[in-house]
Chain A
Amino acid sequence: MGSASYVYLRWIGNKEPEEGMLEEVKDRTQSVFEVPARIMDTNERPAGAFDPARGQYSSTKILRWVLRDVPVDARKVVAITDGDLFIPVLTFVFGEAQLGGQGAVVSTARLRLDLRGLPSPSPLFRARLSKECLHELGHTFGLTHCGFSRCVMSRSNTVPDVDAKDWTLCQDCRKLLVELQKRTGDEP
C-alpha cells in the first residue's frame, strides 16, 4: 500500500459531533484492526445526497462523494454523519461500505435512540457507533457478515441487534482478516 497507512474517520454531519465521540471510535479502530487511525478535519459536506421525498440521505451517493477526495495516506476512510441513511430498496441502513474497497459511511441517526424512540445514554450510543464503524470498516477489509451473533461483523438490522454484539472480532473473523490482508497485500 506504500504511503497509504491510516484509517481516516471523517465527520460529515450537519451538527457538531459529540465531544470525544470520534476519539473513542479512533481508539477502538486502532485496537481492533491494529492500524493507525486519524480524525479528518474538514468542513466540506456532501451535496445532492439528500432525498426530500424520503427525508433521508442516500448512503450510496455519500459513499461516492467520500471516495472522490481521499487523503493520499489513507488506507480507508469512514465517513460519519448524523443524517439518516437509506438505499432505495430499504427503509434505512445504519451504514454502507465498499466490500474490499476503501470507503464506508455510518449514520448516528438511529443509534442514538432506543426501540421506543427515546434517546439512549451517551456511553451506550458511543458503543453502538464504534461497533457500526468497526463493522463497516471490516467490510472494507473484505470481511462479510459473520454468523456468530456476538461478533462485530454479525449483521445488525435493528438497534437491539447492535447492542447484542461486542465491538471485537470473533476468532474466525480475526483469522480471516489476517488471511485477506495477506492475499490483498493490505497489511499494516
Chain B
Amino acid sequence: MTKQKTRILVVDDEEIVRESLAAWLQEDGYRVEMAPGGEIAIERMRSGQWAVLLVDLKMPGVDGLQVLEEARKLQPDASVIIMTAYATVDTAVKAIKMGAYDYLVKPLRPEELSSMMERLITQQDMMRENILLKRALKQQYSFRDFLSKSDKVQAIFDVAKAAAGSASTILILGESGTGKELLARAIHEESRRKSGPFVAVSCAALTETLLESELFGHEKGAFTGAAFRTKGKFELARGGTLFLDEIGDISTKLQLDLLRVLEERRFYRVGGTEPIDVDARIIAATNRDLRKAIDGGTFREDLYYRINVIALTIPPLRERKEDIPLLVEHFLERLCIETGKRLEGVSAETMDLLMSYRWPGNVRELKNILERGAVLVRGPIIEPADLGLPLSEGDEGQEGAESLREMERRHILKVLNDHDWNITRSAQALGIDRVTLYHKVKKYNLKEEEC
C-alpha cells in the first residue's frame, strides 16, 4: 500500500502532541486523522478502517491499553503503537502481550520513528501480498469449494470439469468424509444446469418404501398416510442435478426401478399412472466397493454399468497428506469468521500430529477436529491438547491392510465407549455420519460390552 493510502489515527489527549505528530506523518504522505481521547478513538474505529493507530498510554477516561483492547476486536488488521513518556517494564510487557505492534518511549529520535513506520508499512504490505498469494494458490488448487493440491485429485478435477459439460451420469467413489457431495455440487455448479436445483438424497438413510416415495413421489392415497400428491426428488431436481448418495445401500428392488428410470428417462409416482420425464443430471456416489457387491450378489451389474459412465474416485485423506496444511488453513480461516476468534494457525507439533494421523473420517473428521480445537484453544495457536486426537495413531507405514482395519475397529470402539454408545455423538467425534457409523458397527460386529 502506498503511504497515501495508509490511514493513521493519532490518539492523544494533548492537542499539541497529536497535531505535531499528525503534521510530521502527513509530510511523509500518510493520511492522518486525530482523536483527542480513547472514547472518540473507539468511535472512529467503529466508523472507519485504519492501518495504524498511534495511541498515547496515559489519557483520562479510556486509556491507551483500553483503546488497544478495543482495536484488537474492531480493527484486528490494524497495527497499534502505544506511546508513553513514563515507560515501565510492566506496561510495556502488557501492551505487547495484548497485541501492540510496538511500545514507544517519548521522545524518540526522528530516524527511529521513520524506520519503524517504514518497517510497519512493509510488513503490512507483505501480509497483504501473502493473503493475495494464498488466495491465488487456493484458486489454483480448487474446483469450486473442493480444495486439493494432490496430483490425483487434480486429475479428477480435470475429468470432472470435462464431465460437467456433458449430460452423462457420473459415479463418485470414495470413503466417507472424502467430499463426494462437495464434488457433486462442484460439477453441478460447473454444468449448464447450474441455474437449476441441486437435490441430494441419502439412499442409506431411508427404508425401501420411504426411499421409493422420496425418489419418485406419490399420488394421493397411494398408501396409508399419503394424504396429498407429493413430488419426489426426481421431479424436484427438474432442470438441475440429482445426487444419489450411498447408492450402494439401496435394495435390489429399487435398483431395478432406478435402472428402468435411467434407461427410459421417465418414471411414475408411487400409485401414479402418468409417466413423468426425467430432466435431471444424475450423479451417484458410494463408499462401498460396488465390484465386490456385484460379486456378492447385492448390487445389479447392469445398474452399475448404467451409472458408471464416468467414474471419479476421490482418494482418502491419508493418501493425499499434502492437502492437510492447505485444508487446515482453509478451515481455520472459516472458523475465524464463524467463531469471531483470531486464530493464527496450528503449532508445528499439532501439524506433525495431523500429518501422521490416519484420518478414518477423512476431510470431515479433520474439519470436526479443527472445530473442536477452535472452541477449546485459549490463545491464537492450536496445540495438540486442543484437538483430542488419539495419540497412538502416529506410527503410520508400519502396518499392513489388515492391521489398518483393526486400527479403525479399535478406534471406533474406543470412541463409542467414550460416548456411552451414543451414536450421534460418536459419529460427530469420528467425523462421519450416523449411517456410516451404523455400517461400521455392523461391519466390525462391535458390541457394547466389548472394551
Residues of A within 8 A of B (CB): 58-61, 86-93, 96-99, 139, 144-145, 155, 157-158
Please tell me if B21 contacts chain A, counting CB pairs below 8 Å: yes
Complex contact B107–A86 (CB within 8 A): yes
Complex Cα distance, B3 from A97, in Å, reads 19
From B4, B26, B27, B108, A90 is in contact (CB under 8 Å) with: B108
From B17, B27, B109, B114, A99 is in contact (CB under 8 Å) with: B27
Measured between beta carbons, the chain B residues less than 8 angstroms from A58 are 16, 20
From B3, B26, B107, A88 is in contact (CB under 8 Å) with: B107
Complex contact B110–A98 (CB within 8 A): no
**5 interchain pairs, CB-CB under 8 A:** A61-B16, A89-B104, A89-B107, A96-B23, A157-B110
Complex Cα distance, B27 from A158, in Å, reads 16
Complex contact A60–B23 (CB within 8 A): yes
Q: How far is the CB of B23 from chain A (nearest CB, A)?
A: 6
Residue of B nearest to A145 (CB): B28
Complex Cα distance, B35 from A168, in Å, reads 37
Q: How far is the CB of B24 from chain A (nearest CB, A)?
A: 6
> Interface size for chain B: under 10, 10 to 19, 20 to 34, or 35 or more residues?
20 to 34
Complex contact A90–B113 (CB within 8 A): yes
Complex contact B16–A88 (CB within 8 A): yes
Complex contact B20–A88 (CB within 8 A): yes
Residue of B nearest to A86 (CB): B107
Complex contact A88–B106 (CB within 8 A): yes
User: What 9 A-B pairs have minimum CB-CB distances, sorted nearest first?
Assistant: A87-B20, A144-B29, A157-B111, A157-B110, A60-B20, A88-B17, A91-B107, A99-B26, A89-B21
Complex Cα distance, B16 from A92, in Å, reads 15
User: With A144-B29, A157-B109 in contact, do A89 and B20 touch (Cβ < 8 Å)?
Assistant: yes
Complex Cα distance, B402 from A167, in Å, reads 82
Residues of B within 8 A of A (CB): 3-4, 14, 16-17, 19-21, 23-24, 26-29, 83, 104, 106-111, 113-114
Residue of A nearest to B114 (CB): A157
Complex Cα distance, B26 from A173, in Å, reads 16
Complex Cα distance, B110 from A59, in Å, reads 14
Q: How far is the CB of B52 from chain A (nearest CB, A)?
A: 14
Complex contact A139–B110 (CB within 8 A): no
Complex Cα distance, B111 from A59, in Å, reads 18
Complex Cα distance, B106 from A92, in Å, reads 11
Q: How far is the CB of B1 from chain A (nearest CB, A)?
A: 14
Complex Cα distance, B21 from A30, in Å, reads 30
Residue of B nearest to A138 (CB): B27
Measured between beta carbons, the chain B residues less than 8 angstroms from A97 are 23, 27
Measured between beta carbons, the chain A residues less than 8 angstroms from B28 are 144-145, 155
Complex contact B21–A87 (CB within 8 A): yes
Query: Counting chain A CB atoms within 10 Å of each CB, which of B14, B23, B108, B113 scores highest?
Result: B23
Measured between beta carbons, the chain A residues less than 8 angstroms from B23 are 60, 87, 96-99
Complex contact A93–B24 (CB within 8 A): yes
Measured between beta carbons, the chain A residues less than 8 angstroms from B106 are 88-89
Complex Cα distance, B26 from A93, in Å, reads 15
From B16, B20, B27, B109, A139 is in contact (CB under 8 Å) with: B27
Complex Cα distance, B4 from A37, in Å, reads 31
Complex Cα distance, B63 from A85, in Å, reads 29
Q: How far is the CB of B354 from chain A (nearest CB, A)?
A: 45
Complex contact B20–A59 (CB within 8 A): yes
Complex contact A89–B26 (CB within 8 A): no
Query: Counting chain B CB atoms within 10 Å of each CB, which of A60, A86, A90, A99 scores highest?
Result: A90
Measured between beta carbons, the chain B residues less than 8 angstroms from A98 are 23
Complex Cα distance, B20 from A86, in Å, reads 9
Measured between beta carbons, the chain B residues less than 8 angstroms from A89 are 17, 20-21, 24, 83, 104, 106-108, 113
